[in-house]
């Protein structure tokens, strides 16, 4: 009886020992956190840098990338960006305004440790398309221009486009396309200078409600007064 009892105890010890040896070893988890700005704001098509800062007591190299970007408007072409612990790396993000509507889009940033499936973290990033005030004039189709040389008011059918640099391109107002930059805070515009028939053309103007009043100069002398109108 005593022998049976001892054999039973021995069997339990062997089984427990085997079970312990069969338990798979749990992989180490690299602890880390990362921070990014809450948002990126775009006025027009461009490439911006998103800083990513990784905090960790590990000396490993982390990898950051974009995931789940809104289609058509945003893209990135670089591979994962390596970032050392407690350092900052930059992700490049391209924005294409052609098929985008103003508003806020949501993307994701992923940071991970190579070959560690349990060491992955995500954060949302707000991607804001906020065009400047020239965007409001993109559908204007009426213009007026008075040349100083004859003083006659001319009505024009024009075409306005908010271009990839955030400028207003106006065609049909005069014999050449006019490109306007805006100081939206001060409600003023400046024409991109150009050469026309050997003359150096410049311009400046004011935003007046839903109209733009523009003065064009030829070699510094007033050449014409014009208006870009909604109707």
Counted residue by residue, the chain has a size of: 231
pLDDT digits (tens, 9 = 90+) for 6-48: 334 444 444 445 444 555 565 678 999 999 999 999 999 999 9
Of 52, 173, 171, nearest to 111 by C-alpha is 52
Q: Which residues contact 180 (CB under 8 A, 6 or more apart)?
A: 134, 167, 168, 170, 189, 190, 191, 192, 203, 205, 212, 214
Phi (first) and psi of residue 173, to 5 degrees: -75, -40
How deeply is 85 buried, as exposed, middle or buried, from its count of CB atoms within 10 A (0-12, 13-18, 19+)? Answer: middle
Q: Residues 40-65: what's their mean pLDDT? A: 96
Torsion of CA 109, 90, 93, 122, to 10 degrees: 0
Instruction: Lowest mean pLDDT of 64-68, 161-165, 167-171, name the range.
Output: 64-68
pTM of the complete model: 0.82
Judging by beta carbons within 10 Å of its beta carbon (0-12, 13-18, 19+), is residue 117 exposed, middle or buried? exposed
Find where tokens 């990513």 sit.
Answer: 52
pLDDT score, position 117: 81
Q: Is 4 helix (H, G, I), strand (E, B) or coil?
A: helix
* Alpha-helix runs per DSSP H in the chain: 2-22
Tokens 């921070």 belong to which residue?
A: 35
Mean pLDDT of 190-218: 97
Under the banding of pLDDT at 50, 70 and 90, the label for residue 79 is confident
């Amino acid at each position: 009886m005593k022998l049976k009892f001892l054999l039973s105890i021995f069997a339990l010890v062997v089984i427990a020992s085997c079970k312990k040896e069969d338990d798979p070893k749990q992989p180490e988890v690299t602890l880390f956190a990362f921070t990014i700005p809450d948002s990126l704001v775009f006025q027009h098509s461009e490439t911006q840098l998103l800083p990513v800062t990784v905090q960790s007591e590990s000396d490993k190299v982390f990898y950051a990338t974009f995931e789940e970007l809104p289609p058509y408007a945003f893209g990135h072409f670089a591979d994962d960006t390596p970032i050392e612990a407690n350092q900052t790396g930059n992700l490049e993000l391209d924005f294409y305004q052609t098929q985008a509507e103003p508003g806020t889009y949501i993307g994701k940033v992923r940071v991970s440790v190579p070959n560690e499936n349990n060491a992955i973290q995500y954060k949302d990033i707000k991607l804001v398309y906020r065009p400047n005030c020239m965007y409001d004039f993109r559908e204007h189709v009426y213009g007026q221009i008075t040349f100083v040389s004859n003083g006659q008011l001319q009505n024009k059918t024009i075409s306005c486009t908010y271009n990839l640099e955030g400028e207003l391109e106006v065609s049909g107002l005069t014999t050449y396309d006019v490109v306007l930059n805006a100081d939206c805070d001060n409600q003023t515009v400046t024409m991109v200078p150009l050469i026309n028939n050997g003359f150096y053309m410049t311009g400046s103007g004011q935003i007046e409600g839903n109209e733009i009043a523009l003065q064009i100069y030829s070699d510094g002398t007033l050449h014409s007064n014009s208006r870009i109108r909604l109707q």
